[in-house]
Amino acid sequence: MKTTFFSAAVASVTLLGATQAESKVKFEYWYGLGGYLGEVVAETCDRFNAAQDQYEIVCVGQEGYANAVQNTIAAFRANQHPTLVQAYDAGTADLMMSGEFYSVTQMMADFGIEIDWDDYFPGIANYYAASTGELYAMPFNSSTPMMYYNIDDFAAAGVEPPATWDAFGETLRALKAANPEKCAYGYSPSTWIDLEQFSMAHNIPVASNNNGYDGLDAEYLYNTTQHVTHMENLLSWFNEGLLEIRTSQGGLNARDSFAQNQCSIYFGSIASHQTVHNAAVDGLNWDVEMLPIYEGFERHNTVVGGAALWVLSGKTEEEYRGAAEYLQFLARPEEAIFWSTKTGYIPVNDTAYQAMLEVNFWAEPPFAGREKAIKSLTYTEPTELTRGIRLGGFIQARKEWVNEVQAAFAGDKSMQEALDTAVQRSNRILQQFARTYRGKELP
């Protein structure tokens, strides 16, 4: 596979070399990642520009996924949009319905670049694919959630990392008994972990129509599933003092509380693996494990979180060719290794994964443990319910959930009431979305 990529790149470079030697073709790429991760994205651009002399990619950071999408829309309306945009997982339905993109599968085929799309992990590819299975956007930074735990605290309490949520409660009690002063579980409400990935791992629906994949008239269902029981358990652990709310507004967030050795457990993205390493106090002995599952449920794959690269419509063929070259460049195993080394993100296809296995990438800290995220993503073949989420206005729906769950934790209402209200309000967002695209179908 490595040679295929390389020879294809050489072939296209020599082909174009004759016609394009005099000036470089410039094209723009807007990315949402900010801070350190944004700097690494900019590095991939520099590496691409250094690796060839046909194209020049101009990378513009937009400081935030939401900004990247909003600014792209504004620019698109003024016909000043970039060729490539990094758009987050939750914005997938919005971009798909716009119709103003150039499917990457189509683009690669048009430019004669061979890519083995089956090579991409299904838990990642399905998130960005049409109902036909055609991949519309190029998976880029990809992560999945993990349970981070403190090995020493677990040893002191004489417990193993729990594989089930049923055992999780006992684990918390054991941790609390062994060390009453310490926060056992640092928690902050997260739809991505508590609702979306939880539902995937349990093979239960977030919304009807197979989480929206089968049509715009979907409705949220999570107030009727095991999710309710789970949230009620979290609330009862909170009331027992086993779980502490740790958010940025209150000082340290859950991740930093874990890294500062204040809490024994936290759930977070594998992309934070590097950050936890950097922020960990000396001697912190920790590892990650897959999310627990409730007894009576069979573990399924989790799905990707992160973003994909979308190619927008209305650009010239030369710009598209440049974008295709860049996407192909990113897909090279050595670039995938560069990306995973610098960030906590995982490789998106099997080739890169195998290449990283070959060099024993995950054998030693700080990278050891990250391979468990791939195990979680590929645990089963995706079912109709574990392909991902295809729901419009999902960012707002996430906010509704957080607002209501906060109200339940504040004691204003019961968890069931809170989730019912969140579902009711989120359904209104779906109706609004379906209204905007009246008469159209999801691709």
Partner 1 sequence: MRRAYFKNNWIAALVVAPQLLIIFVFFYWPTSQALYWAFTLEPPFGGSNQWVGFENFQYILGDPIYWQSIWVSIVYAFGTTVLAMGFALILALFVDRQLRGYKTFRIGMIWPYAIAAPAVGLAFRYIFNPYAGVMSYVNQAFPGIWDPILNGNHAMLMIIFAGAWKQIAYNFIFFLAGLQSIPRSLTEAAAIDGSGVMRRMWDIQLPLLAPTFFFVLVINITDSFTDSFGIVDTMTAGGPARATNLMVYKIFTDGFEGLDYSGAAAQSIILMFLVIALTVFQFRYIERKIHYT
Query: Do you know the residue count of the chain?
Result: 443
436 binds partner 1 (CB under 8 A): yes
Can you tell me the distance from the alpha carbon of 247 to that of 15, in angstroms, rounded to the nearest whole number? 54
435 binds partner 1 (CB under 8 A): yes
H/E element, 57: strand 55-61
β-bridge pairing 84-88 and 286-289: unpaired
β-bridge pairing 183-187 and 138-143: unpaired
Using the contact rule CB under 8 A, the part of the chain among 4-12, 218-226, 229-237, 248-256 near partner 1 is: 248-256
β-bridge pairing 145-150 and 286-289: antiparallel
**Residue 25 and residue 54 in contact, taking contact as beta carbons nearer than 8 Å:** yes
Q: Which of 66, 156, 178, 337 binds partner 1 (CB under 8 A)?
A: 66
Give the pair of three-digit tokens for residue 19: 């016609």
Can you tell me the distance from the alpha carbon of 377 to that of 359, in angstroms, rounded to the nearest whole number? 21
Q: Which of 18, 35, 180, 251 binds partner 1 (CB under 8 A)?
A: 251
Using the contact rule CB under 8 A, the part of the chain among 155-163, 221-229, 370-378, 422-430 near partner 1 is: 422-430
89 binds partner 1 (CB under 8 A): no
Using the contact rule CB under 8 A, the part of the chain among 18-26, 50-58, 69-77, 382-390 near partner 1 is: 69-77
Of 350-409, binders to partner 1 (CB under 8 A) are 393, 395-396, 403-404, 406-407
The identity of residue 169, as a single letter, is G
Closest CA to 391 of 139, 248, 221: 221
Closest CA to 101 of 139, 142, 73: 73
- Nearest approach in angstroms of CB 404 to partner 1 is 8
Can you tell me the distance from the alpha carbon of 405 to that of 223, in angstroms, rounded to the nearest whole number? 12
- Nearest approach in angstroms of CB 406 to partner 1 is 7
Torsion of CA 423, 429, 269, 30, to 10 degrees: 180
Using the contact rule CB under 8 A, the part of the chain among 5-13, 199-207, 339-347, 425-433 near partner 1 is: 425-433
70 binds partner 1 (CB under 8 A): yes
Q: Which of 89, 94, 196, 319 binds partner 1 (CB under 8 A)?
A: 94
Query: Coil, strand, or helix at residue 241?
Result: coil
Q: Which of 43, 100, 350, 420 binds partner 1 (CB under 8 A)?
A: 100
73 binds partner 1 (CB under 8 A): yes
Q: Which of 112, 158, 241, 250 binds partner 1 (CB under 8 A)?
A: 250
Residues found near partner 1 in the complex (CB under 8 A) = 66, 70, 73, 76-77, 94, 97-100, 249-251, 393, 395-396, 403-404, 406-407, 410, 425, 428-429, 432-433, 435-439
